[in-house]
Amino acid sequence: MEFFNFHTHQFTNQSNILELVNQYPQDFDASIPFYSIGIHPWYIKEAQIDTDLKIIEEKLQTKNCLALGECGLDKRIEIPLEQQISVFEKQLALAEKYNKPVVIHCVAAFQEVIEIKKRLKISAPMIIHGFSKNSQIASQLIKEGFYISFGKYLLKNPDLKAVFQNAPNDRFFLETDTIEESIQQVYDLAGQYKNITIKELRAIISSNYKDVFVRSKE
């Protein structure tokens, strides 16, 4: 593995990249070698929740399923927050049961996510994907034991440079999510911001991968 793409919706099938491809229970593609699976808050459907959770639980027991998610909370959608929290907590219980990391979608609900992690005493690694906020929120998340993944906004928002530079090397991942740019392009910019070589950056990401994903198999 030269590159690890922590979160993507596009499987590119390149031999030097380990891609953690996002999957949804109802649209599962068995041909994708490594994936995460979860109920995204945008796509919560009351009548489908139990069926989706059963599919997720089944897939979490396979070696190709590296993580649960993306799942989480989003205050900018019409689905009631109480329902989102209920679905999120049920998925976190599965992550704990099967010792799998969690890919988290969080929009304007960081305090709620932190509170849930504390209240449920979640020990599974929790990674906020697509981080786009300030250093204060990043520092609070890291203090509370979260990992942070950078990608789209790192490329598009220069204000994130300082946030990323201050992120501890043992607490971040890189991703492409839905953008057209390659994971190599994200690595290139991340290396520039951290003032390290791509080889050094790959070693950091590889170490974090082992801490989060290999640990979950033990």
177 annotated to a ligand binding site? yes
Give the SS3 label for residue 8.
strand
Instruction: Name the residue type at position 210.
Output: K
70 annotated to a ligand binding site? yes
The answer to whether 18 and 5 are in contact (CB under 8 A) is: yes
CA 205 to chain centre: 14
User: What's the rounded Cα separation, in Å, for the pair 173 and 169?
Assistant: 9
Angle CA(50)–CA(84)–CA(154) in degrees, nearest 5? 120
9 annotated to a ligand binding site? no
| Beta-sheet pairing, 126-128 with 17-23 | unpaired
40 annotated to a ligand binding site? no
Show the tokens assigned to 16. 């030097």
User: What's the rounded Cα separation, in Å, for the pair 178 and 211?
Assistant: 25
Angle CA(48)–CA(50)–CA(51) in degrees, nearest 5? 65
The answer to whether 161 and 190 are in contact (CB under 8 A) is: no
User: What's the rounded Cα separation, in Å, for the pair 106 and 74?
Assistant: 6
| Residues flagged as binding site | 70, 105, 129, 177
| Residues flagged as binding site for a divalent metal cation | 70, 105, 129, 177
